[in-house]
Amino acid sequence: MSCELQEKSRAGVINPIMTCQPAGAQFVSIGVTDCIGIVHGGQGCVMFVRLLFSQHFKESFELASSSVHEDGAVFGACGRVEQAVDVLLMRYPHVKVVPIISTCSTEVIGDDIDGVVSKLSAGLLKEKYPDREVHLIPIHTPSFVGSMVTGYDLALRDFVMHFATKTEPNGKLNLITGWVNPGDVTALKHLLAAMDIEATVLFEIENFDAPLMPHGNHVAHGTTTIADLAGTANALGTLALNRYEGGKAAAYLEKEFGMPTIVGPTPIGIRNTDTFLANLKKLTGKPIPQSLVRERGIAIDALTDLTHMFFAEKRVAIYGNPDLVIGLAEFCIDLEMKPVLLLLGDDNPAYARDPRIKALTENVDWDMEIITNADFWEMENRIKNEGLELDLILGHSKGRFIAIDNNIPMLRVGFPTYDRAGMYRHPVVGYAGAIWLAEQMANVLFTDMEHKHNKEWILNMW
Measured from the Cβ of residue 459, the count of other Cβ atoms closer than 10 Å reads 11
Domain 21-154, classified CATH 3.40.50.300, yes or no: no
pLDDT, tens digit, for every residue of 238-275? 999 999 999 999 999 999 999 999 998 999 999 999 99
Measured from the Cβ of residue 197, the count of other Cβ atoms closer than 10 Å reads 21
Radius of gyration of the chain from its Cα atoms, rounded to whole angstroms? 23
- Give the number of C-alpha atoms closer than 13 A to the C-alpha of residue 88, restricted to the C-beta side: 29
Give yes or no for a contact between 226 and 163, defined as CB atoms under 8 angstroms apart.
yes
The pLDDT value recorded for residue 111 is: 85
Which CATH number applies to 3-14+297-461?
3.40.50.1980
Give yes or no for a contact between 353 and 340, defined as CB atoms under 8 angstroms apart.
no
Residues whose CB is less than 8 angstroms from the CB of residue 123 and which lie 6 or more positions away in sequence, other chains included? none
User: What type of residue is 422?
Assistant: G
264: left (phi over 0), alpha (psi -120 to 50) or beta: left
Asked, colleague to colleague, whether 3-14+297-461 and 21-154 share their fold, the answer is yes
Three-state secondary structure call for residue 32: strand
The secondary structure element, H or E, covering residue 104 is: helix 104-108
Q: What is the pLDDT along the chain (462 residues), one digit of tens a residue?
A: 688 899 998 888 999 999 999 999 999 999 999 999 999 988 899 999 999 999 999 999 999 998 887 666 665 678 899 999 999 999 999 999 999 999 988 888 888 999 999 999 999 999 999 999 999 999 999 988 999 999 999 999 999 999 999 999 999 999 999 999 999 999 999 999 999 999 999 999 998 988 888 887 677 889 999 999 999 999 999 999 999 999 999 999 999 999 999 998 999 999 999 999 999 999 999 999 999 999 999 999 999 999 999 999 999 999 999 999 999 999 999 999 999 999 999 999 999 999 999 999 999 999 999 999 999 999 999 999 999 999 999 999 999 999 999 999 999 999 999 999 999 999 999 999 999 999 999 999 999 999 998 888 888 877
Which CATH topology does 173-288 take? Rossmann fold (3.40.50)
Report domain extents, the chain: 3-14+297-461, 21-154, 173-288
The pLDDT value recorded for residue 100 is: 97
How far does CA 66 lie from the centroid of its chain? 26
DSSP structure string for 174-185: EEE--S--HHHH
* Stated pTM of the model: 0.95
User: What type of residue is 47?
Assistant: M
Q: At what angle do helices 430-452 and 270-284 cross, to 10 degrees?
A: 170
Residues whose CB is less than 8 angstroms from the CB of residue 374 and which lie 6 or more positions away in sequence, other chains included? 8, 17, 319, 343, 344, 345
- Among 271, 402, 407, 426, CA closest to 343: 402
